[in-house]
Chains A and B, each alone.
Chain A
Amino acid sequence: MEILRVENLAKVYGSGETAVRALDDVSLSVEKGEFVAIVGPSGSGKSTLLHILGGVDRPSSGQVFIDGIDIYKLNETKLAIFRRRQVGLIYQFYNLIPVLNVEENITLPLLLDERKVDKSRLSEIIGILGLGDRLGYLPNQLSGGQQQRVSIGRALINNPALVLADEPTGNLDSKNSTEIIELLKLSNKKYNQTLLVITHDQNIALQADRIITMADGRIEGDIRR
């Protein structure tokens, strides 16, 4: 079953002489439960694509369908609720709320939804992320890797249908990296989540079901294994 379809997506920054085509006519379709790795040189448009898929940026042209819904046709409120429930986004740079502690940052999507926190789900995630003894800490009291793990926790807490991760292991050592990827894979299998991961790490890319290679804002290669 197709969960994600992108048609003729383009993103242009600036205009005229200095215009940068970050995305240039990208079309793509992803099946439910797929684990996709996106690779490519720096500046090739990977993050831009991911942001547009996650509903936090707007394309210059083209459409994004998630579960058959054209998400950029939704109004602000509906789009926000969609993000909250359907998407887990892990940024290249961790984006935590400085006044909230680790636990609150992780459960933020639930809090915004005024939903009860599933305690077992929370402790499962915290256990895997190894943040058990840091729950009450504020982001400024955490190391870079710990902050990254909190933002992963936040993306997974809600069991979103779509998990989008932008270099989730960029700041981590190899042991930690392996654990994080295992966590993402586990979640992907267990809840039949669709997982898109941007990575520069060959090992991680090779674990995926499908590798999409980008260059100059276009899809250069799309290998299914």
Chain B
Amino acid sequence: MTDTAATNTADLPEYPAPRDAACPFDPAPAARAEQAAGALRRVRMPTGQAVWLVTGHAEQRTLLGDARLSSDVTNENYPLPVDRPRPEESSVGFILMDDPEHARLRRMVASPFTVKRVQALRPAVQRIVDERIDAMLAGPNRADLVQDFALPVPSLVICELLGVPYADYDFFQRNSAAVINRDTPLPDRDAAMGALFSYLAGLVDDKAGSPADDVLSGLAQRVRDGEIDRNEAAKIGVLLLIAGHETTANMIALGTVALLEHPAQLERVREGDEATVASAVEELLRYLTVIQSGLRRVALEDIEVAGETIRAGDGVLLGLELGNRDARVFEDPDTLDVHRGARNHSAFGFGVHQCLGQQLARMELQVAYGTLYKRIPSLKLAVDAAELPFKHDGQVYGVYELPVTW
């Protein structure tokens, strides 16, 4: 191990670092400075743990594709984002586990997320998007686009897929937000996680009695067949519920802010055909990279990369927001260009943990961006962009509120 408790980490730069309020879409200046200094840097996490920060796009892909880097949260050196006792097991299913168990569990729930199944859902998503826009237009001419559009669309979709009653929206939305925000005090975070777990476990039990065509019923069936225990099934439910709506909601809202601030780009999306909208979705995923503050891993063996040696036991953070602005891969990386056509961004991660819901997310974003600005051409911010409450404290970047008029 390069770092022991005795190593003084106080001199290392801190990561994550604050963004510049004047450039809310760009990574933190201090993180950019580390990126300029090299593809692998030593940084200090808020917990005080010294870790590697991987800033280069190619190096991130190499490492995320390397099975010697582990996602196992129970490993004594896995970098925890906040000061807390080491968990005895992953509370969010396979995202914090390694193969082969990770692959076994992931494959159990992969079916609804294939390209074909997702395409079959497109008309239903279009209907949801249109209904939310109808409701907004029927109300007062000032709305919070987060509460009225960005959150309900992916929430309705994931509820439908999982078999979670949308009537419980307030409950799971409040608890997911508490889990995701970095500043939530530990007891509150644990309470929120516990509430979500009990809720999903209860639903799995219900589905065992009256199965439907949804993911939780599928998991209940596997519990009955002894392939997985109830505890594990509920945790996968928690993972899908949280991952399935927070990320996409933030992309819808933040993407809208970015486009409203880049009117020429917005015009291209509004006037564009399906291919243009699809290309804009990839570019916004790259440009905004809402999963901020780094994917976390721990090295199981020594790994040589970019002239450095990551030692067994070292913590590693992969700053996706930095890799997606790597000038060696993306020309003029800080420019938002909806015609860029780059599909090799890392907004969904890389390696065997690459986002399971990515095809669904893509389709939801295509329908949302492809419909909203056409149907409300006069959409504009109701406050100055500088006054928007950006989610600097979240593991997922976005805005808490998005006041708009039209």
Tell me whether A and B are bound partners. no
A residues near B (Cβ < 8 Å) are: none
B residues near A (Cβ < 8 Å) are: none
